[in-house]
Amino acid sequence: MSTPATSHLPTAVITGGAGGLAQAIAAELLSAGFIVLAPGRAELDVSSACSVRAFFTALPALDLLINNAGVFRDGPVLKMTEADFDHVVDVNLKGAFLTTQAAVKLMSKQRRGHIINIGSYSALSGPAGQANYAASKAGLIGLTQSTAKEYGARNIRANCILPGFLETKMTRHLLEDAAWKENLLSAHALGRLNSPQDAARFIAFLHSMENISGQVFQLDSRVRRSV
């Protein structure tokens, strides 16, 4: 009697694993049958090449990388310090580059893989007071598209998600300001926001669509005219 072949369990890594969105994505992927690793900064500091190298070298396989780690240090350009600018770019953009580079090495050997970068609407709108954050997230779109073009022949995909404003522990205090919340909702055609679970479901669905790569997906209802 032959022994049934063990099916491949896909492995996903979610950076910035302690955040609300990361936890929602982890739950969604676990329910879809993934092995999920969602390291926090203590386990994986994406801004450190040594930390990234050590983490990814220990992985036997990798099917999905979600670059979710991110920070912001808002302020007007004239008051923004060089340290604040560098820190945001180092985590949000350079961090995604370092993890993408490590992931591509694994995925190239497998001849399969998917990288999803968590971007922001700020990349498109460039809000006042977010020069560093907007620049880092705009760069993430370029990184996504270049990666998709470079590694498509090896069956590696790259996409970017703009999940919209999500209510998490980090943002909940902003929504307690009634005037601020009203202004935010008025910018949305539907007058409502996504939850982390909404974004997580889309991410799981996107991963299942094997012929999509190099795309940017805005998940909320803010309407912006293309130029």
Catalytic (active-site) positions: 133
86 touches 133 (CB < 8 A): no
Length of the chain equals: 227
Strands (E), the chain: 11-14, 35-37, 64-67, 113-118, 156-162, 216-218
CA distance 93 to 47: 9
Task: Tally DSSP H helices, then E strands, for the chain.
Answer: 9, 6
CA distance 193 to 166: 7
